[in-house]
Amino acid sequence: MSKLKDIASLNEEAWSCQEMDKSKAKELAEKAFTLAEKYKDRNQMMLASMTLAQVANFRMELDDAMVHIEFVGNLITRSTPKSIRGRYHQQRCYYFYQKSQFTDLIEEGHRTLEIVNSVGLEKQRAWVLSTMGLAYQRLGNVNLALESYRQAEELIKDFENANALSNIRMSMGTALAELGRQAEGLAMFEESLNARLAYGGDFHSGIILGNIATLQTQMGDHSKALLRWADAIAYLKKAGGMPLWAQAMGGRADTLRQLNRLPEAEEQLAEAIITAKDLPHPIRINLYLSLARVHADAQRWDESIESLRSAQELMDEKTTGLTQWVDLHKAFHFAHRAKGDMESALDHHEQMLHYKEKHLNDQSVTKLAEWEALYQMKQLREKDEKLSRKTAELEELLKTTSNERTVLLSKLASYDVLLDEMLERMPTAEKGRFSQLVRTARRSNTEQDSDQVVQNRISEKHPELSPSELRTCSMIVNGWTSKEMSDRSGTSIKTVEKHRTAIRRKAAIPRSVSLEVYLKGIAKTA
């Protein structure tokens, strides 16, 4: 038993450190897997494989990631714990994200949501929604992305995870900024940062600070952006692990470039490129592209082309995003054109157009929209089925209520006969008071029946009116004032006036026509 506990501890440590130190996480997970295999513990083998898949996904070693994911998929059974099944589907979503297969990710995400919803895995549900938001955003459907983020945010609030809440608000900030709502985006980033700093700040604080600085640069507030970049670099260096501060250094260099402080920007990028030698290729590619822009601004076209070639050496068709290919060929085009090499400039221009077209086709918003439409139709069909069932239940209930009312009226008729007999036999001294009570009760019952008839007639002509509005109609027909209606219904005069306004609007009654006269006309002639 102690050995199995040791394996579980290794797996837990491997998963908890995978964000900060991928190499250590991989080493611990491999050790856990070997021990679990030795002791034939399937669950711990799957957990170790999921950590290895996460590390491989992060490092863009996607073939390895899929090997681990498929291994777990082959081991999963109905008796597999929910936490492992949830993590398995998370990794499939993450794999599709890294492969830029965003439509596949969204399809897998909806499938995963059905699974986690059925077993109550709210944390996994929040994670899937946030990842789907990233996919929607990359596909250009930012409004749908924002809606996914908001749903995830509501779930995260429920289980009070400050770190997860900070992450989702950071994603919401990027979506808002992309929609041109920069002030809202900046405010969301600040909320995200405050949540992190409340716990002393960490690696993610540096990421959020970088997002704030990027947005401030876009908004032209360069002095504040430079301060934020300095804080971001400091937090990322303090956190240790992979040197992601190199990415922040690249962002700071871009701000310096916009201030035309080109020597400082170039120096910052040179240091960032050396620091980033072990980082994933997309980050290093962006650093070389930024350096090429600095050289272009300085009109050092040969050096700009050399930086672009360094970026191109790191790029491949499988793992490089199409937008990076577009940026690369666009920069090549301008550099060659500036040098007077029109043949090369034209060639890169054609390449840029090729990748732009491929981007539109492969990241098809149209395909996504069609898929979403099918999904929404499925949801509507399910709602329609539920509504049909509810309607059938209500019809059955109304039928039962109608039968019960008939029986009740029959009984009341018998009671009326009985009351008359009792009145005849009562002493004269008591007969007067009792007779008054009987008349009052009968009048109230008659009024209720009359009110119901009025409501039924008005409802036939205006079925859009709600039950409370129909009750107001019957009181208006009886000539009651708003104060009297308020007292009888137990509501405020303001509520009564709202009902009167709603009745006019729904029934399209002109202001020139008296509401009481209109309703009485229906009650008498219908």
Q: What is the pTM of this model?
A: 0.53
CATH 3.40.50.2300 residue ranges of the chain are 444-526
Predicted confidence at residue 419, as pLDDT, reads 58
Predicted confidence at residue 158, as pLDDT, reads 72
288-337 pLDDT, tens per residue? Answer: 999 999 999 999 999 999 999 999 999 987 777 778 888 999 999 999 99
Reported as half-sphere exposure (CB side, CA atoms, 13 A), residue 109 has a value of 29
Check whether 154 has a pLDDT greater than 90.
Answer: no
Predicted confidence at residue 251, as pLDDT, reads 93
247-268 pLDDT, tens per residue? Answer: 999 999 999 999 999 999 999 9
Check whether 144 has a pLDDT greater than 80.
Answer: yes
Predicted confidence at residue 407, as pLDDT, reads 64
Mean pLDDT of 87-102: 82
Are 149 and 175 a contacting pair, CB within 8 Å? Answer: yes
Check whether 362 has a pLDDT greater than 60.
Answer: no
How far is 131 from 123, CA to CA, in rounded Å?
12
| Residue 121, SS3 per DSSP | coil
How far is 195 from 429, CA to CA, in rounded Å?
80
Exposed e or buried b for every residue in 433-452, given b needs 16+ CB within 10 A? Answer: eeeeeeeeeeeeeeeeeebe
Percent of the chain with pLDDT over 90: 21
DSSP 333-390: HHHHHHHT-HHHHHHHHHHHHHHHHHHHHHT-HHHHHHHHHHHHHHHHHHHHHHHHHH
424-438 pLDDT, tens per residue? Answer: 666 666 556 556 655
How far is 268 from 251, CA to CA, in rounded Å?
10
Most confident of 11-25, 99-113, 165-179, 370-384: 165-179
Task: Give the residue ranges of DSSP H helices in 139-221.
Answer: 142-158, 162-178, 182-197, 203-218
Pairwise pLDDT comparison (172 vs 359), residue with the higher score: 172
Predicted confidence at residue 180, as pLDDT, reads 86
User: Is 1.10.10.60 the CATH classification of the domain at 246-357?
Assistant: no
Predicted confidence at residue 523, as pLDDT, reads 82
Predicted confidence at residue 526, as pLDDT, reads 45
Taking all residues of the chain, what is their mean pLDDT, rounded to a whole number? 81
CA quadruple 406, 408, 409, 414: dihedral sign: positive
CATH of domain 444-526: 3.40.50.2300
Check whether 162 has a pLDDT greater than 90.
Answer: no
Q: Which of 18, 17, 77, 16 is nearest to 46 (CA)?
A: 77
Burial tier of 463 (Cβ tally within 10 Å: 0-12, 13-18, 19+) = exposed
Check whether 220 has a pLDDT greater than 70.
Answer: yes
Exposed e or buried b for every residue in 490-515, given b needs 16+ CB within 10 A? Answer: eeeeebbeebbebbeeebebeeeeeb
How far is 269 from 290, CA to CA, in rounded Å?
8
| Residue 319, SS3 per DSSP | coil
CATH 1.25.40.10 residue ranges of the chain are 246-357
How far is 519 from 513, CA to CA, in rounded Å?
10
470-517 pLDDT, tens per residue? Answer: 889 888 888 888 888 888 778 888 889 999 999 998 988 888 888 888
Most confident of 31-45, 334-348, 408-422, 429-443: 334-348
